[in-house]
A and B are shown apart, each in its own frame.
Chain A
Amino acid sequence: MLLGQLNAAASPLSQDQVQKLQGLVAELNPIQQAWVSGYLAANANSAALGAPTAGVPAAGDAAALTILYGSQTGNAKGVASKMKEQAESRGLAVKLVSMSDYKPTALKKEKFLTIVVSTYGEGEPPEDAETLHEFLATKKAPKLDDVKIAVIGLGDSSYEFFCQTAKDFEERLNKLGAQTIYQRADLDVDYEEEAATWIAGAIDAFEPDLKAQQDAAGGQVVSMPFGAPTTASSQYTKQNPFEAELLTVQKITGRDSTKDVRHVEISLEGSDITYTPGDSLGVYFLNDDVLVDEVLTLTQIDAASIVKVGDEELSVRDALIEKLELTQSYPGFVEKYATATGTPELLKLVEDKTAMRAYIEPRQIFDVIRQNPAKLDAQTLVDCLRKLQARLYSIASSQSEVEDEVHLTLGLVQFDAFGSEHLGGCTGYLTRRAEEGCKVKVFSEHNDNFRLPTNDDTPVIMVGPGTGIAPFRAFLQERDSREAQGKNWLFFGNPHFTQDFLYQVEIQGYLKSGLLNKVDVAFSRDQAEKVYVQDKLRSNSKEVFEWLEAGAHFYICGDANRMAKDVHNTLLDIVKENTGKSNEDAEQYLKDLRSANRYQKDVY
C-alpha cells in the first residue's frame, strides 16, 4: 500500500499519528524509507497480532470488486451487469466499468478484478477494449502482484480464435503478477447458463477476501494531500538537461486536417524532474542532417573539420546538427554572415532594419545560406551562428495522473517557401525525424504565473483554442485527481470539428464524469461565417460574468497576436455589458482580476 493512500479513518492510526508519520516520511530519502519499513515490519512480526495491520490493504477503494467489461454487441456488458447484481446482493462493494471509460493507470489501485470481454472477427478485441488490451502488453503496464483476477470470455467457437481476447487478458494480467483465483470460462454463443454458473463460482472465490477487507476498512475514505508534487528544484536544468526517452509521438488531428498536431509523451523516469500544471518543458532537438550536409557543401567545408563551440571541440557537422541554431533566423546572423562572406545584398540589409525584418521573416537560416552560398572556413561559419535554444512547450499533463511522464501538444510548423518544404526546428525533429524510443534532452521550466487556484472550490474558465488546449489538459487532470469541487468551463476552437477537435474523447469523458461543467467549441470553418472562441464567450456573456463574480479564475492559452487580444477585448465587453461600466472602469475590473491572480495568460 502506498503511504500516499494512508488515512486515519481507514487505518489503525489516529489522525495525529498519521500526520507525524507523514512528516517523518517526507524527510526520508527512498533508502531510509526502505530501511524504516523493514524495521517496522520486523518489529510488528515479533508481536502476536490478531487485528489487520498495515500490511493488509485497508482503503475502502481497494476493497471493491472491479468488473471491467469490453463489449461489442452488449452481451459482455449484460454478463458483467448480472455479476454486479449478484455480488451486491451478497453485500459486496462493486464497481462496474466499461473498458472504454477506464483509465489504464488506475489498474495498480485494484485488488479484485473481473474481466468480462468478448472476441470478434479473427481474435480481435471489441473496440471498447482495444486500448486496455494494448496497454497491458506495453512496458507502461504496472506490476499487479497483489491483484486477484477472474476472467470470462464470450465468443463464437466457429471462429478459429475463439475467446482469444479473454485469453490475452488473462495471460497479460498474469504476466504482470496478477493471480487468477477462479478458472477462466470461454463462453460460446449460447452462454447464459454457463455464465450464471461461472458468476456464482467467481463470486464465491472473491467473497472471503473481499469481505475481510471491507470489514476492516469501515468508514469513509479520506485522501491525504501527501505526495503532491512540489516545486523543488531539479538537478536538471536548461544548462544540464535530462536525456529522456521519447515514448510516443501521436498525430491527434484527423487524416483530412490541414494541421498536423502531435501528442507527445516523454518519460522522466530516472530523473528528479517534477512539474506543476502550468509549467513548460524545454526541449532540445537535432537539426536536419540532410540540410546540414547541404550547408557544408554550399560553404565547401569538410564535415570532419574540428570546431570550437564554447569550450567544446567537435566536428563541424556535429556542431551544426546538435549545437547551433539553423532554423530561426535573426538579424545578428545575417549581419555576421554578410560580413564573413562579403555578400553585398546582405550587407545592404544591415543598414536597413525594415528591409532586414522583411528579409528574415520568410526565411530560415538555411535559406539565407542556401541563397547566398560562399566558401567559408568551418570556425567562421560556426562563429556566425548562435547556440541552439531549447524550445519551450506548455505541459499538457499532470504528474498526479501520468507520474513520471510529461505530455506535450505540438503543432508541426510547416510551410512551403522557395520551392521546398520547411519545418520548424523542434516540431520538425519530433514529428518527422525522431523515433519513438530515442532520447531527447529536456528540462522543466516553472511558471508561477499560470497556476490553478489553490482553493479547489474556485471555478475556472479556460480559453484554449488550438494547441492552447495543452495546459488545460494538465489542469483538468490535476483537478480530477485532486477531486476538486470547483466548476470547470472550457472554451476550445480550431478549423474543423471532425478533424481538429484536440483530445475530443478525453473532453467528452470529463463532461460525462462531471469534471467539466461546460464546454463551448468554435469550429471556425464548419460554416459560412467563421466562429471563434471569443464569439462563444460573447454568446455566453451573462454566464461568464456570473462565474467571474463567483470568483472564477480566467485563463487564456495560445496565440498571442490575435486570439489573446480578441478574447481580452471580448472580456472587456462582457464586463461592460453586465455592469454598465465605462471602458476605463471595465479595464480596471480586469486589472483587479489580474492582480488577484485570477486572470492569467500563457500566450505565444
Chain B
Amino acid sequence: MSEQDKNVKLSDNERLKGESNFLRGTIAQGLKDDITGGFTADNFQLIRFHGMYQQDDRDIRSERVKQKLEPLHNVMLRARMPGGIIKPAQWLAVDDFAGDKTSYGSIRLTTRQTFQFHGVLKPNIKGMHQLLDSVGIDSIATAGDVNRNVLCTTNPVESELHLEAYQWAVKISEHLLPKTKAYAEIWLDGEKTETTEEPILGATYLPRKFKTTVTIPPNNEVDVHANDLNFVAIADNGKLIGFNVLVGGGLAMTHGDTATYPRKADEFGFIPLEHTLSVAEHVLSVQRDWGNRENRKNAKTKYTLDRVGTDTFKAEVEKRIGVKFEPIRPYKFTHRGDRIGWVDGIDGKSHLTLFIQNGRILDYPDKPLKTGCRKIAEIHQGDMRMTANQNLIIAGVPADQKAVIEEIARSHGLIDDKDSQQRKNSMACVSLPTCPLAMAEAERYLPSLIEKTEALLAKHGIPDDSIIMRVVGCPNGCGRAMLAEAGLVGKGPGKYNVYLGGNVEGTRIPKLYLENVGEDVYLEAFDKLIGQWAKERNDGECFGDFVIRKGIVAEVKVSVTDFYA
C-alpha cells in the first residue's frame, strides 16, 4: 500500500512509534523525572507496549486540581500470561507485590486471562518488573499496537487436548512478540543492544491492537468474535490435528460514530497444525500492511476486512503463506460460562473453578479472597488458570488434597453457595476510578445491578434463570458487553446505552435498545421484558433469542449493514 500512502496524513501514533527507536523512546529518562509521577509526551503512549497504562485516581482528580497537585498518577500493569496459566510460586510473588506495593492492594483478573496490578507508583515500577522477571513473568506487548496476550480455553477436563492447545498459544505469543530488547534494557537493566528491525511487526508495529485466541469448542469462553484472529481447535479422537481460522472479530466502537461498530469474525478455513505459526504471522502481516494508519478508529482488522473484502484479504494471506485454506471443519459453540465448582479431568485429577466477582481478588471484610488464594497457592501442587470470564481455576488437584483446598476456599469466601446463576453470568470491566477512558461506573456498580436483576427474575417466578449481562464503562470493549444478551455501555455518569440480543454461545452481536438512559429507565424495561420472557418463551429459549424472535430488537447479522440500521 506504500504507493498510495504519499498523500495521506498518518495518525500521530505512527510518528511516535517510528521515532521511538523500537519502543525505547525516552522512557528511561522519564523514569528518573521525580517532579511528576507520570510519563510525558510519547512515553505516556510507549509504556503501553511494555504492558502498562498510565492512570490516576479519578475519584480525587478535581480535589487535587484545587490542591495544586497533579493527578495521582500511577500505572496499571497487565501481565503476559498466554492461556492464563500461572504457577503457585508465581502467584505468591504476585500476591506479595499486590499487597505491599499497589494502592488498591488487589490482584485483578481480567477478560484477557491475565492479572493486572492497579495503582503502582513510579518509584515501584522497575522493581515490579524485576520481581516478575524473577518468577518468569513479563508484560511485553500486553497493550499497544501489537499482538496482545494470547488467550486459550482453560478446559481442564480434556487435559491432553488442552495441553497441546495451550502450547500453541504460548508459541504464537512468542512468535508474534516484538523482537526489540527495549523491555529488558529499560526495566531489567539488561545489556544495551541496537535494534535494527522488527521482522514480523515492522518498525512502526501494527496499525492498532491485535488480539488472538486458541479455542477448544464447544466452550467459547474466550469470545472468538471479540478477537482479530482465532485458532479453533479441531481434534480427532482427542488429538489436535489443526485449526479452523476465524479472522476479524472485534467489539470496540465510538459513541456517535457510525463508521465504528462491533463485528463478528469471518471463517477463513481449516489449516493443519504445521501451518499455524505461518498463518498467525501472515494474517498479522496483511493487517500490518493493509490496516488504516491514518484513522485509529478505523484501523482494526475488522475494518480492513470490510474495506478490502474478506476474500481479498484471505487470498493475500494464502499468497503469503503459500497454502490454501481448506474448508471449515464442523465445530459448534454451545456456551461461554465457566463451570463453577469441582470437575474431574480425564487424567484423574480434579479442578476447582472459583467464581471471582469482577475478577477482583482482594481481602474484603467478610470475604478474605486474597488471603484464601494465597493459602491455596502455598500448598497447591498443580497450576492455576485465569479464565476469560475473570474467574480462577485451581487445576490438577490430586484426590488427597481436594478436601483441604475446598476447606480453604470455603472459609475465605471463595466458594459461596449463595452466589446465584445471574451473578455468575454477569461481568464488568474495571472502569472508574482508575481507567482513564471510563465514562460511567462498571465494576463498582455491577453488584447492585445484579441484585436488582435477581429481584426481577424472582418477581417473575424464574429466580434460577439468568441473562448474560455485562456492564462496561466505555464502548472500547474490554468487558465484551457487545456479545452479551444484555449489555450496558457507559455514556456518562449514571447513563448507559442498553444493547439486547446477543446469545448464550456468543455468536451474535446485540443491538441498541435504549440510548443514554439512567437506571430507572432500563430497570423498568428489564422488568417488562423479563416478565414477557418468563411467560412467552419457548422451551429453553434464552433471553437474547427471545428478544430477537419477538422483534424487540432486530437481529444483527452483518454488522456493517445491520448494527445501525
Contacts and interface: CB of A to CB of B under 8 A. Distances in A.
Interface string B250-276: 000011110000000000000000000
Contacts of A504: 35, 68-70
B256 A526 contact: no
Interface stretch (B58-66, B147-155, B380-388, B389-397): B58-66
Contact of B69 (A120, A131, A156, A252): A252
A263 interface: yes
Contact of A498 (B37, B65, B495, B516): B37
B123 A526 contact: yes
Nearest to A123: B492
B516 A190 contact: no
B68 A506 contact: yes
Contacts of B36: 508
A357 B194 CA distance: 68
A364 interface: no
Interface string B467-494: 0000000000000000000000001110
B536 interface: no
B515 interface: yes
Interface in A480-504: 497-498, 501-504
Interface residues of B, number: 29
Contacts of B515: 158
Interface string A504-542: 111110010000000101000011000000000000000
Contact of B70 (A189, A505, A511): A505
Given A130-B65, A156-B255, A252-B68, A527 B123 contact: yes
A505 B516 contact: no
B67 interface: yes
Contacts of A580: none
A159 B69 contact: no
Contacts of A526: 123
A288 B60 CA distance: 31
A189 B35 CA distance: 36
B34 interface: yes
B34 A263 contact: no
B442 interface: no
A559 interface: no
Interface string A226-263: 00000000000000000000000011111100000001
A188 interface: yes
Contacts of A88: none
B439 interface: yes
Nearest to A500: B69
B67 A252 contact: yes
Contact of B493 (A121, A521, A527): A121
A120 B436 CA distance: 13
A189 B67 contact: no
A489 to B, nearest CB: 13
A159 B64 CA distance: 27
B62 A120 contact: no
Interface string B61-88: 1111111111010000000000000000
B121 interface: yes
B476 to A, nearest CB: 12
A508 B491 CA distance: 33
Contact of B67 (A254, A497, A508): A254
A121 B493 CA distance: 6
Contacts of B492: 120-122, 159
Contacts of A498: 37, 69, 72, 121
B333 to A, nearest CB: 34
A189 B256 contact: yes
Contacts of A503: 68
A255 B63 contact: yes
Interface in A93-140: 120-122, 127, 130-131
A65 to B, nearest CB: 24
Most buried by B among A122, A190, A504: A504
Contact of A255 (B60, B65, B254, B493): B60
B68 A505 contact: yes
A497 B37 contact: yes
A511 B67 contact: no
Interface in B187-201: none
A130 B62 contact: yes
A501 B62 CA distance: 16
A254 B493 CA distance: 25
B418 to A, nearest CB: 35
B35 A508 contact: yes
A41 to B, nearest CB: 43
What 8 pairs between A and B have smallest CB-CB spacing? A189-B256, A121-B492, A252-B67, A505-B68, A504-B69, A156-B256, A252-B68, A503-B68
Interface of A: 120-122, 127, 130-131, 156, 158-159, 188-190, 250-255, 263, 497-498, 501-508, 511, 519, 521, 526-527
Given A122-B495, A507-B35, 14 more contacts: A122-B492, A122-B493, A130-B62, A158-B491, A159-B491, A253-B67, A254-B64, A497-B121, A498-B37, A501-B69, A502-B68, A504-B69, A508-B70, A511-B35
27 contacts: A120-B439, A120-B492, A121-B492, A122-B492, A130-B65, A131-B65, A158-B491, A188-B256, A189-B255, A250-B66, A252-B68, A252-B69, A253-B67, A254-B69, A255-B60, A497-B37, A498-B121, A501-B69, A502-B68, A504-B70, A505-B65, A505-B70, A506-B68, A508-B35, A508-B70, A511-B35, A519-B35
